[in-house]
Amino acid sequence: MKLCIHRGTHQIGGIAAEIATETTRILIDMGDELSLDPGFVSAPLHIPGVTDANGRCDAVLFTHYHGDHTGQMLRIRPDIPLYAGALAKDIMRLSSAHSWKKDEVLCRRIETIRTFSAGMPFLIGDIQITPFGIDHSAVDSYLFLIEADGKCILYTGDFRLHGVRGKTMDKILDRRIGKVDAIITEGTTVSRTDGKTVTEWELQARVRNYLQQYKYVFVLCATTNLDRIFALARAVPRGKYCICDDYQKMLVETVSKHWSGISSFYEMPKLLSFKHHPPARFAELGGLMFVRANSKFGAIICQYDPAQSILLYSMWDGYRTKPGSTIPDFLALTDTWETLHTSGHASPEDLRHIIEKADPQLVIPMHTDAPQKMQALCPDRTVVLLKDEEELSL
């Protein structure tokens, strides 16, 4: 079995990784690069046999729906099968259809995606893939156990242990996977020194306190960060409103439709949607409203007493501090704003924990801008630092 990371050995996002045997070739993810520079356009990926006809590719698998993993889907040859989780496919479909720059070709391509189920192995050629659902800031995210040529490879995708389903990873490794030959792991946070990792449950508790202190609590978060929306909606007490727009509610309903039978956490929360104006009684009773940083929501926030309001910034801080960002002006619409966020990626300590539990012979970092720091994180392991397009025999 051979591995080639086409992009992502020394950067966060823009991921594409290939695993191949003598007879089968698959790709995992095909994403856009990330940048805070205004007007940035991701470099297109050129992969023989995937983006052109100069070779063969049997399938492309997506770990989750974030654009740094799916953004170059349309560069994949139309005849190559695509695979993703069923809920992830629905979210991609709804997000694409809702986009202001709706792409009909992309919408049609998403409809062709074949779906897999957590814990259920499937074959592509002579490669067996077992997807396992894990916690990330995108619901329906997966790691892959890849078995071929007598080897077991763990491909983590993006994950964390401090989310609402954070305990899932240990259970999967203990009960379903055990020791592996190699782990291909994300390392987003290895270069960060953010201090203590805040859990999603702690964010929920903080929102409960804010709802006692302020009549109006506005939350600016990513529309597809759906675990957070579920958690914060459940923090709203009886007698207060929890409000979002029609698109956000549609996404929440989609998650509930897929997963309410799996966990009561995903049962549909009390969530009132609106098209143009929030209900009049919100002014009287108060509560929580999910917002986005645009003029529509800005005008809505300005209707309420800023001294009785708080705006919670629940996104990565880089979006707020990047040159030309309009978010600081948006946050100034209330007298008070606070950060209410935690990473979608595993802390360095949790990365080490998972690597030790999987007990691999080789550790191969990707989705990181500091892969060399992985060696210090697990000094007793063989860490292989690849370059983009470099091939490794496993």
d(CA 253, CA 198): 27
What Å distances lie between residue 331 and 124, 290, 292, 309, 335, CA to CA? Answer: 49, 13, 11, 11, 9
Q: What 8-state DSSP symbol labels residue 311? A: E
362 and 3 Cβ atoms separated by less than 8 Å: no
List C-alpha distances in Å: 2 to 18, 49, 127, 305, 393: 8, 16, 12, 61, 4
User: What pLDDT digit, counting tens, does each position of 127-141 carry?
Assistant: 999 999 999 999 999
Q: How confident is residue 170, by pLDDT bands cut at 50, 70 and 90?
A: very high
Q: Tell me, what DSSP letter sits at residue 85?
A: E
184 vs 363: CA distance, rounded Å: 6
DSSP string, 4-58: EEEE-SSSSB--EEEEE-SS-EEEE---PBP--STT--PPPP--TTTTSSSS---
Task: Tokens 């966060």: give the residue.
Answer: 12
How do residues 56-92 score in pLDDT, each as one tens digit?
999 999 999 999 999 999 999 999 999 999 999 999 9
Q: Give percent above pLDDT 90 in the chain.
A: 93
Query: CA 29, CA 60: separation in Å to the nearest integer?
Result: 7
What's the token pair of residue 175?
Answer: 């009960």
298-356: per-residue pLDDT in tens?
999 999 999 999 999 999 999 999 988 999 999 999 999 999 999 999 999 999 999 99
- pTM above the 0.75 mark? yes
Query: Nearest CA to 376 among 386, 387, 367, 365?
Result: 365
Structure token digits, residue 212: 């006692």
d(CA 3, CA 199): 34
Give dist(CA 23, CA 152) in Å, integer.
17
Residues 6+ apart with CB under 8 A from 279: 241, 243, 272
Which of 26, 127, 17 shows the shortest CA–CA distance to 80? 26
> Which two three-digit tokens encode residue 159?
């994950």
How would you list the strands of the sheet with 272-274, edge to edge? 272-274, 241-245, 287-291, 216-221, 309-314, 336-339
The two structure tokens encoding residue 255 = 């998650």
Length of the chain counted residue by residue: 394
Give all domains of the chain, ordered by start, each with its CATH number: 2-192+345-393 (3.60.15.10), 200-339 (3.40.50.10890)
Q: Is the pLDDT higher at 146 or at 38?
A: 146
For residue 111, pLDDT over 80 is answered with: yes
Q: What is the spatial distance between Cα 246 and Cα 268, in angstroms, rounded to a whole number?
A: 14
